[in-house]
Amino acid sequence: MKEKDYDLSAQHSKGVGEYLGKLLVQTLITLCDDAEKNCPTVWPGVNTRLHWAFEDPTAFEGTDDQKLTKFRQVRDQIEQRVRQWVTEQA
């Protein structure tokens, strides 16, 4: 993400408990099939649930360079989809 000028150094993975009942979430978007299967199907306040099926780059097997290429590919696909979705909301 640093390549795209996003500083995620202070970020970490968070469980749903960190947000449930504390943050109003109106749109829930899952990005991989594992999340679609395992994330809560009911979330208070959610009126739109979307699933954007992206390949899980952690499951990709190959050389370190090939893995990095896969991560970049998926990152860029997600960025493109988010930008498209934001445009659709306007």
Which CATH superfamily does the domain covering 25-89 fall into? Response regulator (3.40.50.2300)
Q: Is 55:34 a contact under the CB 8 Å cutoff?
A: no
Tell me what pLDDT residue 21 has: 81
Domain assignments of the chain as residue spans, ordered by start: 25-89
Write down the pTM of the prediction. Answer: 0.81
pLDDT (tens digit per residue) in 44-71: 888 888 999 999 999 999 999 999 999 9
64 burial (CB, 10 Å; 0-12 / 13-18 / 19+) is exposed
At 29, which helix (H) or strand (E)?
A: strand 27-30
User: Which of the two residues, 35 and 63, has the higher pLDDT score?
Assistant: 63
pLDDT (tens digit per residue) in 13-22: 888 788 878 8
